[in-house]
Structure 1
């Protein structure tokens, strides 16, 4: 089970200039900033208890299966479920000179919940770059990235309050995933900020 801290800092976000950039190749890059979101304990609790989580089912390989995580989506113009998410989205939009308009939330209840390899390619042409910013709350889970053209994957463990931004050609030339794990692990919430039309 995820344990909150007794010394929770004042809610807010840190300076994005401290992010570490990793060049992946093929024009793709990833920025990582551990502990970027302060007040993550309170935000985790507010989202876990207050978001109208949905259990979806999707067609896959001629059958309908449960999506292995709970979902919520805040489209452009919808109020976000916590003011701290507005602050985070605003800071990201200014720093990356990208208007982040939507927020997709995923609740990974335990290690059995996951997301398969994919890229956020909907809503763009085959040569258009974009940004996808991911804020992680709760238990530490690795985000894996692998080149679509083949080759080894890269591993980015995301802990409570961490930020990861995928940019450049990343959504076109690399896939990402959150794998299942048999190790005991608590719940995790992922918040993905995207520009208009990108899914």
Structure 2
């Protein structure tokens, strides 16, 4: 059996959450090293004639050909570090698929967020697999059907958990990490994917 945990049952979606994919001490060590050594950026997106900084820090790593475009930005990959290469190898073994890029999102506090979106960029292919590793503080991950405004399902993504979205999920669903006024610890999210050059 590929995954130890049962799937999340949503229509037209394939999601699987493994809550304790890596041990707490390992997750804490990875979190500390990545926060300290990643060359974080806060790019701006251009909306309605104005530039807005994205509400989190980001970095994109990957194979040389794995440039990634989203929100009107083109991210050229930084070369894999030894730690990220090790984590990628473990994630690839878990999901049984090659992954050639990872987006790191650093949520410093509850004011940092990720708005509603689907990972449906053309270079990810028709039914992309996105493997999301969570380190540090717990944040709520919301899902809604495309074209709807109501949240249909929410997950608490704890440190060390791995959420895998695959199949037709990105065709029918959007997801977000909303801002929160509640005190939350800093969180690091690594989303591994396969970018088709």
Q: Per the shorter chain, which TM-score range? A: 0.7 to 0.9
Distance 1:157 1:74 in 2: 26
| Coordinate RMSD, CA, aligned | 2.1
Distance 1:162 1:152 in 2: 21
CA contact (8 A) 1:51 1:81 kept: no
Distance 1:89 1:125 in 2: 17
Structure 1 spans left out of the alignment, 5+ residues: 1-14
Shift of 1:173: 1.0
Offset from partner CA, 1:89-117 (integer Å, 9 cap, x none):
22333443321110100000000000000
Equivalent residue, structure 2, for 1:80? 80
Equivalent residue, structure 2, for 1:112? 111
Shift in CA distance, 45/89, structure 1 to aligned 2, threshold 3 Å? same
Structure 2 spans left out of the alignment, 5+ residues: 65-77
Equivalent residue, structure 2, for 1:24? 10
Count of equivalent residues: 181
CA contact (8 A) 1:111 1:180 kept: yes
2:18 to 33, 37, 46: 33
CA contact (8 A) 1:34 1:162 kept: yes
Shift in CA distance, 90/19, structure 1 to aligned 2, threshold 3 Å? farther
Shift of 1:186: 1.5
Equivalent residue, structure 2, for 1:56? 43
Distance 1:17 1:68 in 2: 32
Shift of 1:63: 1.2
TM, length-normalised to structure 2 = 0.84
